[in-house]
């Protein structure tokens, strides 16, 4: 409704208002539906303001590594460096992590569970992630205490860390108190910390509690070697909500973890091919405006909808334990 009290058409909304609305839409809708509605919506969908939050958490569980690489790079390019939140699972290698770090100077929330990133690349690029306040590196089996140290040294505003592992991923380790030490020494401002199923001891956890004085939530479910007196914790840390090490309502099933694959070419899945199907006509064929005919755009990128694809109902979650 404008100043005169008359209703305005959706296509007459200012681009910034459209971008705010589009943030509430699913990834599928933003990529496939919105650009086809009208020219103004298509332009707004290409605006950096529409891509300040990039959530590929569900989709990335079931896509090919090469498609994941292309999608992440394309959406970060579309954000023009203004992206503030990235959530993507299973980065296939270090190179994509380097790209994220080098092109997201405004990033505040970074979630990269199950990613194939290494200690060495974290050391290389952590300095470019100095603004992040929330980090999820759960199930990243190739990194350890050294990576946590580098994140702590360079990410001074970090208040949330999620570093949950799966028992099968730490079965060959003896003790991971070195990770607890890295958290305690280099991340003293943490308020929320999840380290479920790491091989921690009471010594490591007490070091964290002694150093992270602002800690309000600590999840150590499945850390079987930790023995803490409940009365002692309540008396010394009255603001702290502690979960674990005992587990309640555990949803883990060995068969689910082992049988679940990241990708399949089964013909029972619906494949959606982004090709040159006339989408560019919404932009009057002006590729110089960054339209859909951009060489790094969506054409040729195959997006598979596994059991609903982008839809939450189609995703079979294997991450555990769940955050409260």
**If we measure between CA atoms, which residue out of 156, 155, 161 comes closest to residue 135?**
161
Q: How confident is the model at residue 20 (pLDDT cuts 50, 70, 90)?
A: low
SS3 track for the chain: CCCCCCCCCHHHCCHHHHHHHHCCCCHHHHHHHHHHHCHHHHHHHHCHHHHCEEEECCHHHCCCHHHHHHHHHHHHHHHCCCCCEEEECCCCCHHHHHHHHHCCCCCCEEECCCCCCCHHHHHHHHHHHCCCCEEECCCCCCCCHHHHHHHHHHCCCCCEEECCCCHHHCCCCCCCHHHHHHHHHHCCCCCEEECCCCCCEHHHHHHHHHHCCCCCEEECCCCCECCCCHHHHHHHCCCCEEECCCCCCCCCCHHHHHHCCCCCCCCCCEEEEECCCCHHHHHCCCHHHCCCCCCCCCCCEEEEECCCCCCHHHCCCCCCCCCC
Q: Quick count: other Cβ atoms within 10 Å of Cβ 195?
A: 27
Residue 306: its pLDDT value, please? 31
**Biggest alpha carbon–alpha carbon distance for the chain:** 71
Judged by average pLDDT, the poorest of 87-96, 135-144, 255-264 is 255-264
- The answer to pTM > 0.75 is no
Q: Flag whether pLDDT at 189 surpasses 60.
A: yes
32-83: pLDDT as tens digits: 656 666 666 666 666 667 678 889 988 898 888 999 999 899 889 888 888 9
Residue 219: its pLDDT value, please? 96
Q: How confident is the model at residue 313 (pLDDT cuts 50, 70, 90)?
A: very low
More confident residue, 318 or 183: 183
What angle in degrees, to the nearest 10, is found between the helix axes of 65-79 and 94-102?
A: 10
Q: What is the mean pLDDT of residues 295-316?
A: 41
Residue 61: its pLDDT value, please? 87
Residue 198: its pLDDT value, please? 94
Q: Flag whether pLDDT at 85 surpasses 90.
A: yes
190-216: pLDDT as tens digits: 999 999 999 999 999 999 999 999 999
* CA–CA distance, 7 with 28 (Å, rounded to integer): 29
Q: What value, to the nearest 5°, has the Cα angle with vertex 145 and ends 212 and 130?
A: 65
140-184: pLDDT as tens digits: 999 999 999 999 999 999 999 999 999 888 888 889 999 999 999
CB 46 within 8 A of CB 290: yes
Q: How confident is the model at residue 99 (pLDDT cuts 50, 70, 90)?
A: very high
- What tokens does 82 get? 């203004």
Q: Flag whether pLDDT at 217 surpasses 70.
A: yes
Residue 79: its pLDDT value, please? 85
- What tokens does 277 get? 């199907």
Residue 132: its pLDDT value, please? 97
Q: How confident is the model at residue 315 (pLDDT cuts 50, 70, 90)?
A: very low
| Residue 143 vs residues 8, 21, 29, 206: alpha-carbon distances, Å | 53, 38, 35, 23
Residue 194: its pLDDT value, please? 97
Q: What is the mean pLDDT of residues 319-324?
A: 48
Judged by average pLDDT, the poorest of 7-16, 69-78, 145-154, 312-321 is 312-321
- What tokens does 312 get? 């939450």
241-292: pLDDT as tens digits: 999 888 765 444 333 333 333 443 433 332 333 323 333 333 344 433 444 4
More confident residue, 46 or 239: 239
* CA–CA distance, 156 with 145 (Å, rounded to integer): 17
Q: What is the mean pLDDT of residues 216-225?
A: 94
Beta pairing class for 301-305 and 134-136:
unpaired
CB 46 within 8 A of CB 74: no
Q: Flag whether pLDDT at 133 surpasses 70.
A: yes
């Amino acid at each position: 409704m404008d100043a005169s009290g008359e209703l305005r058409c959706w296509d007459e909304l200012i681009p910034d208002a459209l971008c705010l609305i589009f943030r509430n839409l699913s990834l599928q809708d933003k990529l496939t539906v919105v650009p086809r509605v009208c020219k103004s919506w298509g332009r707004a969908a290409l605006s950096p303001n529409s891509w300040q939050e990039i959530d590929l958490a569900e989709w990335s569980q079931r896509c090919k590594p090469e498609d994941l690489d292309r999608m992440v790079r394309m959406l970060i390019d579309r954000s023009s460096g203004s992206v503030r939140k990235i959530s993507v699972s299973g980065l296939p290698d270090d190179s994509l992590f380097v790209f994220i770090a080098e092109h997201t100077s405004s990033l505040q929330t970074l979630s990269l569970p199950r990613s194939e990133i290494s200690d060495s690349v974290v050391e290389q690029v952590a300095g470019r992630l100095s603004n992040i306040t929330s980090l999820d590196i759960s199930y990243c089996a190739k990194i350890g205490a050294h990576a946590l140290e580098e994140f702590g040294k360079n990410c001074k505003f970090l208040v949330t860390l999620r570093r949950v592992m799966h028992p099968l991923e730490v079965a060959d380790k003896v003790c991971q108190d070195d990770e607890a030490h890295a958290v305690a020494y280099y991340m003293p401002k943490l308020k929320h910390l999840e380290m479920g199923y790491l091989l921690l001891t009471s010594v490591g956890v007490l070091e964290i509690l002694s150093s992270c004085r602002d800690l309000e939530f600590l999840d150590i479910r499945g850390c079987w070697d930790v023995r803490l007196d409940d009365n002692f914790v309540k008396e010394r840390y009255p603001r702290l909500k502690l979960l674990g090490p005992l587990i309640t309502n555990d949803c883990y099933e060995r068969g689910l973890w082992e049988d679940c694959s990241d990708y399949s070419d089964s013909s029972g899945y619906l494949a959606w091919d982004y090709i040159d199907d006339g989408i560019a006509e919404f932009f009057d064929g002006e590729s110089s405006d960054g339209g859909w005919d951009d060489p790094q755009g969506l054409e040729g990128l195959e997006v598979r909808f596994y059991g609903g694809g982008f839809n939450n109902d189609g995703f079979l979650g294997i991450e555990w334990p769940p955050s409260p």
